[in-house]
Structure 1
Amino acid sequence: MDQKMRLSGILPVLPTPFADDGVDLDAMRRLVRFALEGGVDGVVFPGFASEVEALSAEERVALLAAVVAEVAGRIPVVAGASGGTVAEVVAHAHQAAALGIDLLMIQPPKSIGAGAEAVAAFLGAVAAQVPNAEIILQNAPAPRGSDLSPEAVVHVVRSVPSVRYVKEETLPAGPAITAILAEAPEHLRGVIGGGGARYILDEYERGACAAMPALEIADLHVSLDRAFRDGRKSEARALYIRSLPLLVLQAVYRMRLTKHILMLRGVADNRIVRAPTPEIDALALRDIDASYAECGLGRPGEGENA
Structure 2
Amino acid sequence: MTSPASLSGVFPVLPTPFDTAGQPDEKALRGLVRYLLEAGVDGITYPGVASEVGQLSVAERLSLTAAVLDEVAGRVPVVAGVSSAQAATTIELAKAAIAQGAVGLMVAVPPDRPTAAQQIAYFREVATAVPSAVLVLQNVPMPVGAGLDPEAIVEVAKAVPAIRYVKEETLPSGQRLTVLREQGPATMVGVFGGAGGRYITDELRRGAAGTMPAIELAEVHVALFKAHRAGDEARVRALFTRMLPILNVQAVFRWSLTKYVLSARGLLSSENQRAAGPRLDALDKADVDAFLGDLQDLLLPTHPLRRNAR
Tell me the TM-score normalized by structure 2. 0.93
1:155 aligns with 2:146: no
* CA shift for structure 1 position 58: 2.2
Secondary structure of 2:192 counterpart: strand
- TM superposition shift of 1:48: 0.5
SS state at 1:93 partner:
helix
**Aligned Cα root-mean-square deviation (Å):** 1.4
Tell me which residue corresponds to 1:108: 109
CA distance, structure 1, for counterparts of residue 173 and residue 138 of structure 2: 12
**2:188 is matched with which residue?**
188
> Take 2:85 and 2:141, find their aligned partners in 1: how far apart are those partners?
17
Task: With a CA cutoff of 8 Å and minimum separation of 6, indicate the structure with the bigger relative contact order.
Answer: 2
Partner residue of 1:238? 238
Per-residue deviation, residues 241-285 of structure 1 (Å, max 9, x unmatched)? 000010010011111111111112111112110110212111111
Secondary structure of 1:105's aligned partner: strand
Deviation string, structure 1 residues 199-246 (Cα, Å, up to 9, x no partner): 001000000001000001000000000001101110111000000010
Cα separation, 2, equivalents of 1:4 and 1:192: 14
Q: Which residue of 2 aligns with 1:82?
A: 83
Q: Which residue does the alignment assign to 2:12? A: 12
Q: Which residue identity lines up with residue 43 of structure 1 in the other structure?
A: I
What residue number does 1:304 align with?
none
User: What is the Cα deviation at residue 102 of structure 1?
Assistant: 4.3
Partners of 2:141 and 2:63 in 1: CA distance? 29
Listed as ranges, the gaps of 5+ residues in structure 1 are 301-306
Aligned to 1:67: 68
The offset of 1:159, in angstroms, is 0.5
SS in 2 for 1:62: helix
- Give yes or no for contact 2:11–2:211 (8 Å, CA) kept in 1: yes
Shift of 1:5: 5.1
Find the aligned partners of 2:89 and 2:57 in 1 and give their Cα distance. Answer: 13
Kindly tell me the number of residue pairs found equivalent between the two proteins: 299
**AA matched with 2:30:** R
- SS, match of residue 96 in structure 1: helix
Residues 14 and 214, structure 1, Cα contact 8 Å, conserved in 2: yes
> For residues 193 and 185 of structure 1, what CA distance do their matches in structure 2 show?
18
* Separation in structure 2 between the aligned mates of residue 211 and residue 99 of structure 1, nearest angstrom: 24
Is the 1:102–1:132 Cα contact (8 Å) retained in structure 2?
Answer: no
SS at match of 2:6: coil
Q: Distance in 2 between matches of 1:247 and 1:228?
A: 19
Residues 147-296 of structure 1: pairs in structure 2 closer than 5 A = 147-296=147-296
* Separation in structure 2 between the aligned mates of residue 116 and residue 5 of structure 1, nearest angstrom: 25
